[in-house]
Amino acid sequence: MKSRLQDIRKSVCRRENLIAAVSALLVIFLIVGIRSVFFTEEAEQQIKVGFVYVDDESTAYTYNFIQAQNALDMTYGDQVETIAKYNVPEGKETEALQELADSGCDLIFTTSYGYGEGTKKFAAAHPEIQFCQATCNDANTEPVFENYHNFMGEIYQGRYLSGVVAGLKLQELIDEGLLTPKDAKVGYVGAFPYAEVISGYTAFFLGVRSVVPEAVMTVKYTNSWNDYVLEKKYAEQLIREGCVIISQHSDTAGPAVACEQTDSSQIVYLVAYNQSMADVAPTTYLTGSKINWEPYISAAVRAVMTDKDIEECVVGDIHGQDAGAGFEEGWVEMLELNGVIAATGTTRKIDETIEAFKQGNIHVFQGDYIGVNPYDENDTYDLNQEYPENGNSSAPTFGYVLKDVITIE
C-alpha cells in the first residue's frame, strides 16, 4: 500500500513538473513574441526617401527610376514617404538636395552621373542622411564616406544580348540573299564618349559579331543625353551611309522615328534602350534592354528602415560602398521582342543567353581585338586577355574603341 502511494505521488509530481515546464515555455514564447513584435516595429520606423531626377517621366531613363520609386508604395505602404525633384540639371543638384534634407529625408537617391561630385560633397556635410548615387564610381575613392554609395545594373549584359538579336536578324537577311556579309553595317547614336557609352556600344557590337563576324559599326556622338532633333538627324545619316541596324545610348525616340520613316526600299532595323519602341517603330523595332532599378532601391530602403548597412541588405556584386548585378538578380532586363520581324529562333536564343550569363559562361569583352583609348592613342588594350567589366565597380569602365571595326564620326 505504501509503495502504491509513493508511485501515485511520483506520478503527480511528474505531472506537476511537466505542467510547470510547459507553462514556463509558454511564458517564454509569449515574452519572445512580444519582444519580437516590439523590436520589429521599433526597427522598421517610417522613413522619408528623396529622389533627384535629371528629367521627368517623359524620358525613359527617368521613368524607369520613377517606376522603382512607385514600387516602394506597393512594398512598404505608409512606412515610406517619398519626395521627388524633377528636371534638375547636372551641376545644379545641391539646391534640390538641400530641399530634400530640409524636408527630413533619411535616404536620398540621385540618379544622373553628373550629380556624383556634388552629391558626395553634400553627403560629407550630412552624415545623418544616406545618399545613393546611380551610375557613378566614386564611392570607394578617397575620401570615403559611410553614408555615400554607388549602384548600377551591369547593363553590358543586356547590350550584348540585344546585339545577338540584331546579329540574328542580319544573318537571316544574309541567308535570304537580301544582304551580303560586307553589308552588315551597324550604326550607333551615343550621347557622350564616356566609358558608360563606349562599354555599352562595344558590348552591343560584340553581340552582333558573335553571330555575324564580318559586321562593322559607326558611332556618332550627340554630346547630349536628350536631344531628339540631333539623335534623329544622326540616325538618318547612319541609315544613308548604309547601316542596316541602328541602336542608341540616348534618351529620345529620335532614332526610332528615323528608322520608321525610312524609305521602304532601305532595309533598316532598330534596337532600343530603356523603353520599347514598338509603338513608335512597329515595323523596324526589334528589341532592347534596360536596367531595373527596383531591387537596389527597395533593398536600400529596407536597410535604412532597419538601421543596417545598405550593402548588407543588397543582393548583388558588392564592391565596398558600391553594388551592381545583372540578369542573375533581375537588375538587367530585356525589353519586349517584336516577334513579327525578329529572326526565327530568337526567343530561344534569348533564353539560352540569359541562362549562360547567369551561369557565368559568357565573356563579352574578349576576342582578337585591340582597343584604343580615344583620349590617348598610346593607351591600348588587347582583348585576347579578357577585360573584366564591372570587376571592381557597378559603373562600366571599358573605355576603348575597337580598332579597325568601329569608326567614330
Give a three-class secondary structure readout of the chain: CHHHHHHHHHHHHHHHHHHHHHHHHHHHHHHHHHHHHHHHHHHCCCEEEEEECCCCCCCHHHHHHHHHHHHHHHHHHHHEEEEEECCCCCCCHHHHHHHHHHCCCCEEEECCHHHHHHHHHHHHHCCCCEEEEECCCCCCCCCCCCCEEEEEECCHHHHHHHHHHHHHHHHHHHHCCCCCHHHCEEEEEECCCCHHHHHHHHHHHHHHHCCCCCCEEEEEECCCCCCHHHHHHHHHHHHHCCCCEEEEECCCCHHHHHHHCCCCCCCCEEEEECCCCCCCCCCCEEEEEEECCHHHHHHHHHHHHCCCCHHHHCCCEEECCEEEECHHHCCEEECCCCCCCCCCCHHHHHHHHHHHHHCCCCCCCCCCCEEEECCEEEEEEECCCCCCCCCCCCCCCCCCEECCCEEEC
Map out the domains of the chain as residue ranges.
47-153+293-325, 156-291+329-408
pTM: 0.88
Confidence of residue 45 (pLDDT cuts 50, 70, 90): confident
Confidence of residue 46 (pLDDT cuts 50, 70, 90): very high
Interatomic CA distance for residues 87 and 82, integer angstroms: 17
Q: pLDDT tens, 133-142?
A: 999 999 999 9
Q: Which residues contact 94 (CB under 8 A, 6 or more apart)?
A: 118, 122
Question: Is the pLDDT at 193 greater than 70, yes or no?
Answer: yes
C-alpha dihedral sign at 144, 195, 293, 350: negative
**pLDDT at residue 72 in the model:** 96
Short-list 135, 132, 86, CA closest to 298: 132
Question: What are the cell numbers at 226?
Answer: 536628350
CATH number (3.40.50.880, 3.40.50.2300, 3.20.20.210, 3.90.1640.30) of 47-153+293-325 reads: 3.40.50.2300
Q: To which residue does cell 536631344 refer?
A: 227
Q: pLDDT tens, 211-226?
A: 999 999 999 999 999 8
Lowest mean pLDDT among 30-34, 60-64, 105-109: 30-34
**pLDDT at residue 211 in the model:** 98
* C-alpha distances out from residue 30 to 24, 33, 36, 42, Å: 10, 5, 10, 18
**Residue 68: alpha-carbon gap to chain centroid:** 11
Computed over every residue of the chain, the mean pLDDT equals: 91
Question: How confident is the model over 313-340, as a mean pLDDT?
Answer: 98
Question: How confident is the model over 101-119, as a mean pLDDT?
Answer: 97
Question: Is the pLDDT at 15 greater than 60, yes or no?
Answer: no
Instruction: For strands 107-110 and 130-134, give the pairing.
Output: parallel
**pLDDT at residue 26 in the model:** 41
**pLDDT at residue 31 in the model:** 38
Question: Is the pLDDT at 24 greater than 80, yes or no?
Answer: no
Question: Is the pLDDT at 354 greater than 50, yes or no?
Answer: yes
Residue 296 and residue 309 in contact, taking contact as beta carbons nearer than 8 Å: no
**pLDDT at residue 334 in the model:** 98
The residue ranking higher by pLDDT, 263 or 123, is 123
Residue 152 and residue 324 in contact, taking contact as beta carbons nearer than 8 Å: yes
Question: How confident is the model over 165-190, as a mean pLDDT?
Answer: 98
CATH class of residue range 156-291+329-408: alpha beta
**pLDDT at residue 20 in the model:** 43
**pLDDT at residue 5 in the model:** 36
Question: Is the pLDDT at 104 greater than 90, yes or no?
Answer: yes
Residue 165 and residue 337 in contact, taking contact as beta carbons nearer than 8 Å: yes
* C-alpha distances out from residue 40 to 13, 37, 49, 267, Å: 40, 5, 20, 60
Question: Is the pLDDT at 12 greater than 80, yes or no?
Answer: no
Interatomic CA distance for residues 343 and 158, integer angstroms: 18
SS (H, E, C) 149-214: EEEEECCHHHHHHHHHHHHHHHHHHHHCCCCCHHHCEEEEEECCCCHHHHHHHHHHHHHHHCCCCC
Q: pLDDT tens, 328-342?
A: 999 999 999 999 999
**pLDDT at residue 264 in the model:** 79
The residue ranking higher by pLDDT, 264 or 367, is 367
